[in-house]
Every structure is written in C-alpha cells, then in structure tokens.
Amino acid sequence: MNIPREASGTNDGEAGKREQDRGLSAVLLWSCPDRKGLVAKISQFLFERGGNVIDLDEHVDRSDNTFFLRVAWDMRGFSVPPDKLNDAVAPLAKEYGARWTIRLNDRKRRLAIFVSRLGHCLQEILWRLELGEFEAEIPVIVSNHEDLRPIAERYRIPFHVFPMTKEIKEGVEADELKLLQRENIDTIVLARYMQILSPAFVKKYPERIVNIHHSFLPAFAGANPYRKAFERGVKIIGATSHYVTDVLDEGPIIEQDIVRISHRDSLDDLIRKGRDLERLVLARGVRLHLEDRVLVHGRKTVVFG
C-alpha cells in the first residue's frame, strides 16, 4: 500500500483549515472490528512518535460492531518520515484487522471534471476552486459535447470532447483513460455527465469517482427523476452525491439535501429548485472527499463532517 501524496484539507471548515495552516500533516482513515482501547492505542502510537493530533473523530456501528476513525496530525517533529508511514502503521493495522489509508497534504489532488450540456454543477466547482475552498487542481475538463467549452476557456482549463455512442463507447473510454493517466488524475467528478461509465472504467478509479444524481436516492434512480417525482406528486425533492460503482446510482452515498415542493410547483419549478440542490450537494461531496472525511463501509459510508 503506497501513501498517496495528496491534499487532505481545504479552507472550508475549521478542522480542515487547522490542518492546512499547520504545514505538513497526515490523515489516517481506519476501520476494524470494535474492541476496547482502540482510540487510546492509536493516540498512543502517534504520541510515542512525536505526533501532535490536530483533529480526531470516531464512530462505532453497533449493527455490525465496526469501529471507524479519522485522525489528522502535524508531521513536524514526527519521528517517522513520510515515506515510512505505511511500514510503521502496518503492524498495528494487522494486529487489529484494520482497513486503512494514510494521506499527506503535501500535494494537491488533481481532478478531472466530466460534463455534458448542463453547466451549473461545473460552474459551482470552478467558482469554489477560485475562492480557495478546494485544495485541488483541475487540469482537464472532459465532455461528450461542445456546449460548455466557453466556461472552460474562461477558466483557462483544457477542454476535451469525446463524442459518445454505444458503438464506439469502449474505444472512447480507452482514450479518456489515456488522457486521465497522462494528466495524473486522482479523482473524477461527474458534474451532470449524462453517460453511464462502464464497469471496466469504474474499476480504474474505485471510490474516486464522485457523481451527482438529481434525486434523493434511492428514490427515482436512473433517468428523468424530476419528471418521475412530478408525476408521483412528491412533496420533497432532493439531490445525492455518491461514489460510482458498477450498479447505476447505487454507490455509497456521501452527501444529500432536500427542498420542499407543493402542488403549485410545475415540472420546470422542480428542475429549477433541484439544480440549486445539485450544485451545492456535489460541492459538499467533493469537499468531503478531498478532506478524506469519507470512509466507505460496504454499500454505506461513514462521513466525518
């Protein structure tokens, strides 16, 4: 297991800001069967090596007796050098049967944004990046249409168009993956990208493809959720940010939000209100991912907000 040398903090949120302000820091995400003394054991491990804890949060899922932890610490004065962190943690993780990752904040994550014709989610991500809320870089925007090229040009980000049909899908995805590899992309953000990624594509970026779906999942998965909601006469609509898996719209959920509607709202009203939710929910999901605040546990997540 190699340590991804990536960003783990942003200006959005006091904990993330503290981590960033203190210089080089590390974040450990950990899950294992619950037992007494785990927080003390991990804290002692860091203390003995000179680690100053910046932020610590933990949770126990009583349904399956699983312990989850996120801890960030200042690497200044830490006796273990960054390139030896995995070796140092591995014996402790083995002892407790843990699933774990460590990330350092010494390099910004590199995001690829995938879009189609709707630009509201793309605009939100680029705006927040410009404001400094995301500790990330966006070296490329990928689309299956030309419509949003002006937005990319406004932000001086290379815009790559890959027209997509079922007949050429495999070859197009192969070309897209070559581009992502060339640009050293860490995470893909689907900002209303109206294409279904193949299992082979998804496999290349496990738990690193963040999607926005325009409904409160698991309700109204798939296409045309606003029309389905309108026809059903629902009183609440929502948006869901989730990781992409092989099963459409069933990946582990990162963030959700809702807005109330009534019989007075038309289908166009639902779409308008929903777009406000989509851009905000996607931005929150991206931030949580960038700050390493999401632990995937089967079909669910534990999110340390």
pLDDT tens track for 259-294:
999 999 999 999 999 999 999 999 999 999 999 999
Are 208 and 155 within one domain? Answer: yes
Q: Does one domain contain both 213 and 98? A: no
* Co-location of 98 and 201 in the same domain: no
pLDDT at 77: 92
Let me know whether 115 and 240 are in one domain: yes
Q: What percent of the chain has pLDDT over 70?
A: 93
What is the percentage of the chain residues whose pLDDT exceeds 90? 83
Is the link from the previous residue into 218 a cis peptide, with omega within 30 of 0?
A: yes
CA 285 to chain CA centroid, Å, is 5
Q: What residues contact residue 194 under an 8 Å CB cut-off, 6+ apart?
A: 116, 117, 144
Q: What is the mean pLDDT of the chain?
A: 90
Q: Do 237 and 295 share a domain, yes or no?
A: yes
Residues 168 and 65 in one domain: no
Please name the helix (run of DSSP H) or strand (run of DSSP E) that holds residue 238, with its range, or none. Answer: strand 236-243
Q: Is the dihedral of CA 170, 176, 181, 187 positive or negative?
A: negative
129 and 222: one domain? yes
* 249 labelled catalytic: yes
Residue 218 lies in a domain: yes
C-alpha 300/C-alpha 275 separation (Å) is 25
Residues 57 and 159 in one domain: no
Active-site hit among 12, 186, 249, 292: 249
Domain carrying residue 99? 14-104
Q: Which of 10-24, 110-124, 181-195, 197-211 has the lowest mean pLDDT?
A: 10-24
219 confidence band (pLDDT: 50, 70, 90): confident
Say if 9 falls within a structural domain: no
Do 139 and 253 lie in one domain? The reply is yes
Give the domain-ending residue among 104, 136, 153.
104
**Looking at the predicted structure, is the pLDDT value of residue 127 above 50?**
yes
Q: In 3D, which of 239, 232, 228 has the Cα closest to residue 285?
A: 239
Domain-ending residue, one of 76, 104, 132 = 104
Position 2 in a domain: no
CATH number at residue 240: 3.40.50.170
pLDDT score of 23: 75
